[in-house]
Amino acid sequence: MRTLQLTVLGSGTSMGVPTLGCHCVVCESADPLDKRTRPSVLLSYSGKNVVIDTTPDFRFQAMRARLDRLDAVIYTHAHADHVLGLDDIRPYNMRQKTAIPIYGAPETLLTLRRQFAYIFDETPTENLLPSVHLHTIDGPFELFGLTIVPVPALHGTQPVLGFRFGKSAYLTDFIRVPDESKKLLLHLDDFILDALRYVPHPMHSNVEQSLELVAELEPRRAWFTHICHDLGHASTNHRLPQGVQLAYDGLQLEVEI
């Protein structure tokens, strides 16, 4: 059986937990599992490391995970909490002496070109810039011998991509999953999905909606991510049904591919 090691680099919402200036019980919690950096996962297989999204916490997350090499980045969408760490891939460019391939939907790559104009505008500079090769995702693709299946969803009215690899899938920042995409999420061992909080949100699935999706798709295990400070780790897990837990920074799963 071939496996992949999935590490949750960050399990928090866009502002992170603790949230600046907030003194609520979760932000003040002493439980390390209540400390959530911005949302990202690391896939390690065949000696390669691939991250899904480069958050504003990417440097810290990569240090914490002892990430000595980076082989590719896949983007879900171009919101700030998912892309702003891109500049911090430069040490890997230097060490590996190569550009790093980046994969995203056409609209994501277009936004990246705008957000990181200094990387793409080819103005001569003596600064060391990130070196990347852009690859448009227009269907399932192979990455170092692994098939990555994009799973389109809606984040408010904006499109977002989740990804399935073998028997697991990562789907963050969604409010609605079209029926065609649900078919791509059947027979999962591990499903990591957005569940922002209890209160409904126009762009994010909440705990109730994510539990409904889990009940419909029946993965063996489900892990909630993109979590805000409304959800304390221990107290929320206590209320969740069997097989569903909050993800946390540093969570590692061995998944079949």
Nearer to Zn ion, 7 or 76 (CB): 76
Question: Whats the size of the chain, residue-wise?
Answer: 257
Tokens 């569903």 identify what position? 244
164 or 229: CB nearest Zn ion: 229
Q: Which is nearer to Zn ion, 39 or 166 (CB)?
A: 39
Q: Could you tell me the smallest distance in angstroms from the CB atom of residue 4 to Zn ion?
A: 23
Q: Min. distance of Cβ 208 from Zn ion in angstroms? A: 19
Please give the distance of CA 71 from its chain centroid, rounded to a whole number.
16
Minimum CB–partner distance for residue 151 and Zn ion (Å): 15
Number of Cβ atoms within 10 Å of the Cβ of 68: 11
Shortest separation between residue 13's beta carbon and Zn ion, angstroms: 7
Tell me how far apart the alpha carbons of residues 5 and 174 are, in angstroms, rounded to a whole number: 24
- Sheet with strand 244-246: strands edge to edge: 141-143, 146-155, 158-165, 168-171, 190-194, 221-225, 244-246
Q: How far apart are CA 129 and CA 118, in angstroms?
A: 8
Nearer to Zn ion, 24 or 99 (CB): 24
Inter-residue contact 54 to 80 (CB < 8 Å): no
What is the residue whose two structure tokens read 């002496």? Answer: 97
Min separation Cβ 194 and Zn ion, Å: 8
Could you list the residues that contact Zn ion (CB under 5 A)? Answer: 14, 19, 22, 24, 27, 79, 81, 173, 229
How many Cα atoms sit within 13 Å of 22 on the Cβ side?
A: 15
- Residue 85 CA to residue 98 CA, distance in Å, equals 18
Residue partners of 21: CB distance under 8 A and separation at least 6: none
Question: Shortest Cβ distance from residue 230 to Zn ion (Å)?
Answer: 8
* C-beta of 35 vs 229, nearer to Zn ion: 229
Nearer to Zn ion, 143 or 196 (CB): 196
Tokens linked to 84: 């702003």
